[in-house]
Structure 1
Amino acid sequence: MRYPLRWLTASLLSLTVLSCAKQDNLPSPVAATTATGTADVSSAGFPEGFDTGTKTAYTTGSVTLGSGSWTLNDALLGNTTADPKTGAQSVRVRNVGSLTMNFNATTGAGVVTVQHAVYGTDGSSQWELWVSQNSGSSYAKVGSTITSSSATLSTASFTVNLSGNLRLQIRKTSGGTNRVNFDNVTMEQYGSGGGTTPPPTGTGKKFLFDGSHGELAGNADWVLDVNSGVASRYPTPAQSGITATTSETFWTGAVSAWGVALVKLGHTVEQLPAGTAISYGNSSNSQDLSNYSVFVVDEPNTVFTAAEKTAILQFVQNGGGLFMISDHTISDRNNDGWDSPEIWNDLMQNNSVKANPFGFSVNMDNIVENSSNALTTSTNTIMNGSQGRVSQLSFHNGATMTLSPTANSTVQGLIWRTSATQGNSLAMAASSTFGTGRVVIIGDSSPADDGTGSPGNTVYDGWNENVSHARLHLNASLWLAKLQ
């Protein structure tokens, strides 16, 4: 993360190094075998965030939304502070009301997700997802009945797996006058692979970028793509449209350059939306970590729950890759009392699996520095891999790490502060293994920032600041996926 005044100070101290580095062009990713199978693709018009259109009364009526026309029965579009929502508004339903598509999704449906929460201080209610294959003449229930009991949005996932023309209907089935809000309905095309494809074992791997822990808080934009304030599961436009010449502006998130580069290398990327659970070994969760090779978490701003910490550590322990990105101390963007160094340390120290499993901790410091104090061995494929040799790393307000080989003998510093010896102190990036899985940590979000993000956010181009930043992130991604 950057603070402009501090960045200017750092620039004056390292002007010569930075100006030389910026003369280099970002290398094109080295070609890899294209992943087998079809990339996950959202149905046209989805995700539906309910942020367009106006309906202020519960009386049955139709409203034109981003995806098309919907009928809201005993439902309205709510935009008050008591309406849980991620954008400007969400659908609020009472009694046994419903919301129904008045148009067909012509490419069928694989997995459908719906975010839901109770309105204000209302009590719990239940609701169901129904699907029509005959333009609304009749409907069939899909999946289980869902209970909404929290005022915080959570995500329910339904495996539809039906081809042809489809319409969705969400029915509130209990709770009386208690109200429920619905937001961010996603629908993947039938046969696109989400939720039914096992973890990839060939060249093409699946990378999951977290968007569920405040990565959009404040001025943050640490996701691949944002639409109407939402980081939905599938970035749009569909990644199947990415070619060798596609720009990172294809998507709007501040780490879109990273995601686009991975797709060019033949891999698949997804996002974990806000309100979606982090789980491992839960077959009913289509975004369970077991479905992915690498989990990327860039500067989390909300603490992981006990269950989430167990899931993350078991994912790594059983062979998964975890890419951790921190930021500096006092970087609490949502003012909840937690910043990313504390959140990462809490994951590693307060869990049910193992204390200090990775052999490092994040220091509560704040540094601005361009360092060339890098590991130079030719056998380390993070520092000298298929995407090129990494020779420097620039922090614009980041944190360092302390390594503990006693806790984990595999921990390895990769880049250190200029003044440090290449030992266990003041590492700016590090790696380790745990069980059969792998971990990489970088102490600042700035190097992954590609300089283009959501409207209204101020971001800076760290990805292209020097050639080493893209190389480091891509080499590390491939190492975590066990491709080098």
Structure 2
Amino acid sequence: MSNYLTYWRRPLAAALAMAALLTGCARTEVAPSDPTTAASTANNKSLSAISTNAVATGFPETFETGTKTAYTSGTVALGSGSWTFNDALLGNTSADAKSGSQSARVRNSGTLTMNFNLSSGAGVVTLDHARYGTDAASTWELWASANGGSSFSKVGSTIISSGTALATASFTVNLAGSVRLQVRKTDGSTNRLNLDNLTVQTYGGTTGGGGTGTTGGKKFLFDGSHAETAGNADWVPDSDNGTVVRTPTPAQSGITSSTAETYWTGALSAWAVTLVKLGNTVEALPTGAAITYGNASNPQDLSNYSVFVVDEPNTLFTSTEKTAIINFVKNGGGLFMISDHDVSDRNNDGYDSPAIWNDLMTSNSVQSNPFGFKIDLTNISETSSNVLGSASNVILHGSQGNVTQLKFSNGATITTTSSVAQPLVWRGSASQGTTQAMCASSTYGTGRVFVITDSSPADDGTGASGNTLYPGWTEIGSHAPLHLNVSLWLAKLQ
């Protein structure tokens, strides 16, 4: 990490600093405890239950209106509007799982696609599903588009339909403006799938993990409550000379397309100012504030935000905070995790960010290793072009640009432990496998997660007086597009 302490870049001084760390404050490893399966009722509850969003016009779609008897691709007029059925039809046989006289039946890699927009956005979406007759199980996904169907992004997890009785799958879409939906059968097999009773809530920003800002965009919360300004760090949008406040000053209402990142003073100000320019709202969680989820008395409860950004935490999360963070993701929120290299304890409390993040994932009351990766206790410095070759990946090739390189100035590596996690950039000499990743995306429940293991790429070179920072944000042309594409992906805006 480029701004850990300036002497980390000088070999002799680095050796002296390391010796001081080892003798003065030994690094304490976190011993993971056995996670329990029961979370607190208040925090584990999906906040969609308290949403005040209305049902979208024309929904629920029961598939009772319309006729389509062949799998050949074509349009069908349903009660909600015109849809395109590809490798799909409306089935009404005794083998079709349905709650009325008919339901949609899909085979192979078939799709059901809206030919119209939901003008009031989409909040929580539910869809009943089952396997057809005696066919084997099928998998399918919900995708959403905010650009009239030009491109779609996956929402939530892949669903497995293994029973013959209709079950309900729920997705937190949380997209404002004009939205259209698509259902994709993903296993490609000839096994058939039935779908029925599609419900869509309009999006008003009250559903857990989906807060909207004053401009109609999404709300981003940057954590400042875990020593993110300790030592030589300044990992907040605006630090006001070391003091983290909820609302950055001057007011973000004054930001225009030409506003410089120096409008705010924090190492993450360039990132935050750009988010505002894109129509979103930015806040920080001040020192001493509580991280909660499902606490209506806390105005900064995570349910009021779409994305929670935590850049290099330097104190452990409490058990209550860990439950809140994981359930926020589980119920649709986006978590942006930034770590640093091994032995990067800024406040000398015995814990650095790799240990703190690993403790969150291995010792919590919700689920052990929910995101499918761990942060290695390593320290690397290199510029890598070993990027996942996927033109359709919106993190690497999104609306904010393409990612072709990533530079670490003292960072850690990542090992993925589950298929839910997707490495995106690896060390230059590594094979594109499960080890030696430099950043990765993941999903859990209906939420999304991204992890990068060096704080240098987000550093814009500005901060509180006396802090020595480095312009990693502009050092490599891919750094800004990566962080912005991730932000929009986590917020389900692309």
User: Does structure 1 residue 276 correspond to structure 2 residue 289?
Assistant: yes
User: Does structure 1 residue 323 correspond to structure 2 residue 336?
Assistant: yes
Residue of structure 2 in register with 1:334 after alignment: 347
Pairing of 1:62-101 with structure 2 (within 5 A):
none
CA RMSD in angstroms, aligned pairs only: 1.9
Residue of structure 2 in register with 1:444 after alignment: 454
> CA contact under 8 A between 2:222 and 2:310: conserved in structure 1?
yes
Q: Unpaired runs of 5+ in structure 2?
A: 12-204
Task: Please give the alpha-carbon distance, in whole angstroms, between the structure 2 residues aligned to 1:285 and 1:5.
Answer: 41
Residue of structure 2 in register with 1:199 after alignment: 211
Once the two structures are superposed, what CA deviation does each residue of 1:380-410 show, in whole Å capped at 9, x if it has no partner?
Answer: 10000000110010000100100012xxx22
Task: Please give the alpha-carbon distance, in whole angstroms, between the structure 2 residues aligned to 1:199 and 1:325.
Answer: 22
> CA contact under 8 A between 1:232 and 1:273: conserved in structure 2?
yes
> Shift of residue 229 of structure 1?
2.3
* 1:351 aligned residue (340, 359, 364): 364
4+ residue segments displaced more than 4 Å: 3-9
> Shift of residue 199 of structure 1?
2.0
Question: What amino acid does structure 2 have at the position aligned with 1:452?
Answer: T
* 1:397 aligned residue (410, 416, 419): 410
> Shift of residue 200 of structure 1?
1.9
Pairing of 1:398-477 with structure 2 (within 5 A):
398-405=411-418, 409-477=419-487
Cα distance change of structure 1 residues 252 and 316 upon mapping to structure 2, 3 Å threshold: same
Task: Please give the alpha-carbon distance, in whole angstroms, between the structure 2 residues aligned to 1:356 and 1:198.
Answer: 24
Could you tell me the TM-score, scaled by structure 2's length? 0.58
Task: Please give the alpha-carbon distance, in whole angstroms, between the structure 2 residues aligned to 1:240 and 1:223.
Answer: 19
User: Does structure 1 residue 244 correspond to structure 2 residue 276?
Assistant: no
Once the two structures are superposed, what CA deviation does each residue of 1:110-159 show, in whole Å capped at 9, x if it has no partner?
Answer: xxxxxxxxxxxxxxxxxxxxxxxxxxxxxxxxxxxxxxxxxxxxxxxxxx
Pairing of 1:16-55 with structure 2 (within 5 A):
none
Once the two structures are superposed, what CA deviation does each residue of 1:211-235 show, in whole Å capped at 9, x if it has no partner?
Answer: 0000000011000001242110000
* 1:209 aligned residue (218, 222, 244): 222
Once the two structures are superposed, what CA deviation does each residue of 1:68-101 show, in whole Å capped at 9, x if it has no partner?
Answer: xxxxxxxxxxxxxxxxxxxxxxxxxxxxxxxxxx
Question: What amino acid does structure 2 have at the position aligned with 1:355?
Answer: S
> CA contact under 8 A between 2:210 and 2:332: conserved in structure 1?
no
Residue of structure 2 in register with 1:30 after alignment: none
> CA contact under 8 A between 1:6 and 1:368: conserved in structure 2?
no
Task: Please give the alpha-carbon distance, in whole angstroms, between the structure 1 residues aligned to 2:426 and 2:299.
Answer: 39
Once the two structures are superposed, what CA deviation does each residue of 1:42-72 show, in whole Å capped at 9, x if it has no partner?
Answer: xxxxxxxxxxxxxxxxxxxxxxxxxxxxxxx
Task: Please give the alpha-carbon distance, in whole angstroms, between the structure 2 residues aligned to 1:229 and 1:417.
Answer: 34
> CA contact under 8 A between 1:7 and 1:368: conserved in structure 2?
no
Task: Please give the alpha-carbon distance, in whole angstroms, between the structure 2 residues aligned to 1:449 and 1:304.
Answer: 23
> Shift of residue 461 of structure 1?
0.3
Cα distance change of structure 1 residues 437 and 198 upon mapping to structure 2, 3 Å threshold: closer
> Shift of residue 198 of structure 1?
8.0
Question: What amino acid does structure 1 have at the position aligned with 2:363?
Answer: N
Once the two structures are superposed, what CA deviation does each residue of 1:20-54 show, in whole Å capped at 9, x if it has no partner?
Answer: xxxxxxxxxxxxxxxxxxxxxxxxxxxxxxxxxxx
Question: What amino acid does structure 1 have at the position aligned with 2:309?
Answer: V
> Shift of residue 8 of structure 1?
7.8
> CA contact under 8 A between 1:7 and 1:396: conserved in structure 2?
no
- SS of the aligned residue for 1:464 comes to helix
Question: What amino acid does structure 1 have at the position aligned with 2:438?
Answer: M
> CA contact under 8 A between 1:402 and 1:424: conserved in structure 2?
yes
> Shift of residue 4 of structure 1?
4.8
- SS of the aligned residue for 1:463 comes to helix
